[in-house]
Chain A
Amino acid sequence: MNTINPQKVIRNIVVYTFLLLFIFFSLLPLLWMLSTSVKPEILTREFPPKIIPRIVTLENYKYLFEGSLIPRYLFNSLLMGFTTILGVLFFGTLAGYGFSRYEFRGKSVLLVLMLASVMISGATIIVPLYLMFLRLKLINTHFSLFLVYVVQALPISTWLLKAHFDSLPKALDEAAMLDGCSRLKILYQIIIPESIPGIGAVSLYTLVLVWREFIMASTFITKNELKTLPVGVYQFFTELGIEWGKLGATVMMAILPMTILFIMFQRHFNPAEISSGVK
């Protein structure tokens, strides 16, 4: 019974061709950037263009680390990422616990309101936020970005954390309360250590969100040494757009850390969960 089913063969060919085409489409711009980033500057404008570099050099990367602000931008992006994660976890675990463990008036409305407020506000709050931050003297501070990023990541993080807390039995809380633990102690010493996968998913989601954000960062931050990586790349492109080799190296710096991290952890990532918070 080991006959080859022609229909199946055709289907496999179609599926693999489609997938390979798609991979080609996904990776082509990145491979081109990678190739340019290791070319000497003179060869980047070679015509016809060659994707396999004839001479490989690391001078562009050397320049980035020794003669540019890119390490600073990288540091700022990481700083924003980690502080935002801490902020999201602080507000998110409290709210997630409240929503998970209590029944109270307005609970379902508040849950929807949380998600809806960020969805509805969308891009429309950039200008009023700018004016608010201007009055509060928060323009050109990382704190303004911190506030915005925490709020952008908070609703879905709270929903996710609530779902994770829901999966832990309430008997856990009740037993601890009989032992005289306060609610906060229960949250921080029992519930959170039991929800590490949830905490991880929320952190990864928040990190990606902060890492790729551009418009708020470029609006609220104009001081060079405070800029995040996407803004730095954009500046590079508008100012030194002709130095392709260096631009390519910058682009690689802007994508590699997150790409590697994401590929490592992407099994835990489900966009359906993340966009609606529903498990």
Chain B
Amino acid sequence: MVNNCIRTLYKKYGKQIEPYMFISPAFMILGFITLFPMIYVVYLSLYKIDLINPDVYIGLKNYTDFFRPVSLQTVKVTILYLLGSLFFTMVPGFLLALALNQKIRFSAFFRSISIVPWTITAVVAGVCWRWILSPDIGFLSYYIEKIFSFRPDFLYNPNWALLLIIIVDSWRSLGYVAVFILAGLQGIDPSLLEAARVDGADYRKIFRYIMLPLLTPSILVLLILMSMRALNMVDVVLVVTGGGPMRLTETLALHMYKESMSYFNIGYSSAVAVILLIINLVLAVVYFRMLGEKGGQS
């Protein structure tokens, strides 16, 4: 009887439910690990939480706490880090892509080597660079001093420390950026370039009037992706400087992490997380708009 009932129900609605049965396991786990925590973090940001006593609702206090010099400092650091990281990955990455796109020997070898740092964990990258650029025992520091007769203090000077974070970051993602752009370059119809060459255009002109306009959409998409990556980067900053010296290289994401994991200010840390969440949301909307336009064009 029940069996029959299910069978008739399935006959009636089965065709409509079927696709959802295929995709629902993925969405269940996705909802549990991303959607639910995102809602939960908004809740947490409105409470005072110490994990022993019950949570106390305190309205927007955690958010007003953000307007302290310590927190505002992290905004400044984040912007500097973001700009530096974008500049030092996108510009050399773009040049590298152009170089890899030339007809050269060993291009497969160069391409392989360039992507290797991308597979390396932030810890290893951080440890390696911290060591070779360490002011007193660093192997590279020694040669920098020999050549420029001055030794940058990457550990105790906040500006140099921030630069060290950017170096490590771009060391890891340069090759990724290059291969990403290279894929775009190789997608350009060769007959278009040939036609321009026949018409007497030199490389500079071809680059300026054909390659660059065709690449712009994928570069914009990449810019958004790299910005989101930099804004949400905790591990590199944590490993390279830990936010020091004197919390002067603490980015927004690291600030969020340390406030809960080191100082147990869970409510406040969640407020910072919500601010980051809003930035991510805005960037993601822009990203999908661009992706839609890019898809529409091709």
Contact = CB atoms under 8 A, between A and B. Distances in A.
A143 to B, nearest CB: 12
Nearest to B261: A219
Given A97-B22, A102-B18, A230-B123, A272 B175 contact: no
A154 B171 CA distance: 27
A98 interface: yes
A258 B119 contact: yes
DSSP majority for the A interface? helix
Interface stretch (A11-19, A59-67, A173-181, A192-200): A11-19
B180 A271 contact: yes
A110 B280 contact: no
Contacts of B253: 122-123
B277 interface: yes
B121 interface: yes
B123 A127 contact: no
Contact of A29 (B34, B122, B128, B256): B128
A95 B121 CA distance: 29
A270 interface: yes
Contacts of B20: 98, 104
Given A110-B27, A114-B26, A114-B27, A22 B32 contact: no
Contact of A19 (B110, B129, B274): B110
A233 B140 contact: no
Interface residues of B, number: 98
Contact of A15 (B18, B102, B176, B295): B102
B81 to A, nearest CB: 14
Contact of B25 (A94, A117, A266, A273): A94
Contact of B119 (A90, A101, A123, A211): A211
Given A18-B96, A234-B239, A278-B295, A98 B22 contact: yes
A26 B291 CA distance: 31
A215 interface: yes
B17 to A, nearest CB: 9
Contacts, number: 279
A44 B242 CA distance: 25
Given A18-B96, A94-B25, A123-B253, A128 B44 contact: yes
Given A95-B23, A127-B41, A219-B261, A120 B179 contact: no
B290 to A, nearest CB: 10
Nearest to B108: A267
A45 B26 CA distance: 52
B235 A214 contact: yes
A49 B239 contact: no
Contacts of A128: 36-38, 40-41, 44, 270, 273
B281 A237 contact: no
Contact of A272 (B44, B180, B269): B180
Nearest to B275: A124
B257 interface: yes
B40 A131 contact: yes
B5 interface: no
A118 interface: yes
A124 B284 CA distance: 14
Nearest to B276: A124
Given A45-B137, A212-B119, A237-B127, A270 B183 contact: yes
A200 to B, nearest CB: 16
B91 interface: no
A154 to B, nearest CB: 6
Contacts of B231: 122
Contact of A271 (B27, B102, B183): B183
B95 A127 contact: no
B216 interface: no
13 contacts: A12-B102, A19-B99, A27-B116, A45-B137, A51-B139, A94-B25, A95-B22, A114-B26, A123-B233, A125-B41, A147-B32, A237-B127, A262-B119
Interface of A: 11-12, 15-16, 18-19, 22-23, 25-30, 32-33, 45, 47-49, 51, 90-92, 94-95, 97-99, 101-102, 104, 107, 110, 112, 114, 116-132, 147-148, 150-151, 154-155, 158, 183, 208, 211-215, 219, 229-231, 233-234, 237, 244, 247, 251, 254-255, 258-259, 262-263, 266-267, 269-273, 275-276, 278
Interface of B: 16, 18-23, 25-27, 29-38, 40-41, 44, 51, 92, 95-96, 99-100, 102, 104, 108, 110-125, 127-129, 131-132, 137-140, 142, 171, 174-176, 179-180, 183-184, 203, 218, 221-222, 225, 228, 231-235, 238-239, 253, 256-257, 260-261, 266, 269-270, 273-274, 276-277, 280-281, 284, 287-288, 291, 295
Given A121-B280, A258-B119, 12 more contacts: A15-B99, A15-B102, A91-B29, A122-B280, A147-B29, A233-B123, A233-B124, A263-B116, A271-B180, A275-B180, A275-B222, A275-B225
